[in-house]
Amino acid sequence: MVLFVSSGNRMEVIEIKKKTLCSLRLEKELSQDALATMLGVSRKKIYRYENGLTIPSDEIKQQLGLIFYLSQDDLDEVIKNTVNAAKEKSQTYPCTISFRCTADMYSKIETNAKMANMTVGQYVRETYAGGQLVVLDGLKDFSKDLTRIGTNLNQLTKLCHMGKINAPELKSVQKTLTEIYIKLNRIISK
């Protein structure tokens, strides 16, 4: 999903990417060779998994779940995302569309494309590809606030482990984060 965030006169593009096998491996800072060694398969096999050419066996799925700390359901979702991403990547644009418009209309499309850091063609494709274009004001500030909450939670965890504080009350934080998560999921699923 692509989100367009306006901040003043600029519009920034934030692409929310779904997790794939490759993104999980890169998050763990593992090479294909390293992951292949951990799984007892060839590097070529990892390449095939990451490019949606082969689906891992149940045994390999179990090992991947342990390596990436994922449940089997979450891992199945990641594999589905991997296959879908591979299909989208291989998709070409064989059809051409052209239309006439006024200079004013073209100017608006061109301005919006520039604000989104896209070419006119990319902008039109993203906008009219059957998906929904969502513009959210203030998402950058919202993201910074979430990062601050995460930093504070990490600091609390460290203090708890050091024995400096005991059992902090986090019910309100959990409730707030749950509400945020639900609202973001509703936006993404629209």
Does residue 101 belong to any structural domain of this protein?
A: no
Tabulate helix, strand, coil % of the chain (nearest 5): 60, 5, 30
Q: What is the pLDDT of residue 8?
A: 54
Q: What is the pLDDT of residue 119?
A: 80
Q: What is the pLDDT of residue 121?
A: 81
* Residue range 76-94: mean pLDDT, rounded: 80
Rounded to whole angstroms, the Cα distance separating 75 from 59 reads 13
Question: Can you state the angle between helices 32-39 and 43-50, rounded to 10 degrees?
Answer: 110
pLDDT tens readout for residues 19-41:
888 888 888 888 999 999 999 99
Q: Any idea what DSSP says for residue 11?
A: E
Give the type of residue at 83.
V
Mean pLDDT over each residue of the chain, to the nearest integer: 79
Tell me the percentage of the chain whose pLDDT exceeds 70: 77
Residue 32 domain boundaries: 21-90
Does residue 113 belong to any structural domain of this protein?
A: no
Sign of the torsion angle spanned by Cα atoms 117, 150, 85, 138: negative
Q: What is the pLDDT of residue 112?
A: 77
Rounded to whole angstroms, the Cα distance separating 144 from 119 reads 28
Segment (H or E) for 105: helix 103-115
CATH of residue 30's domain is: 1.10.260.40
Higher confidence at residue 49 or residue 126?
49
Does residue 177 belong to any structural domain of this protein?
A: yes
* Residue range 77-88: mean pLDDT, rounded: 84
pLDDT tens readout for residues 132-162:
555 555 666 777 777 888 888 888 888 888 8
> In 3-state terms, what secondary structure has residue 174?
helix
Sign of the torsion angle spanned by Cα atoms 139, 189, 16, 6: negative
Does residue 82 belong to any structural domain of this protein?
A: yes
**End residue of a domain, out of 67, 90, 113:** 90
Phi and psi based region of residue 98 (left: phi greater than 0; alpha: psi -120 to 50; beta: remaining): beta
Q: What is the pLDDT of residue 40?
A: 93
pLDDT at 57 exceeding the cut of 90? yes
Higher confidence at residue 126 or residue 172?
172
Domain count, the chain: 2
pLDDT at 2 exceeding the cut of 50? no
Does residue 129 belong to any structural domain of this protein?
A: no
Does residue 3 belong to any structural domain of this protein?
A: no
27 and 86 housed in the same domain: yes
Q: What is the pLDDT of residue 146?
A: 79
Does residue 128 belong to any structural domain of this protein?
A: no
Does residue 12 belong to any structural domain of this protein?
A: no
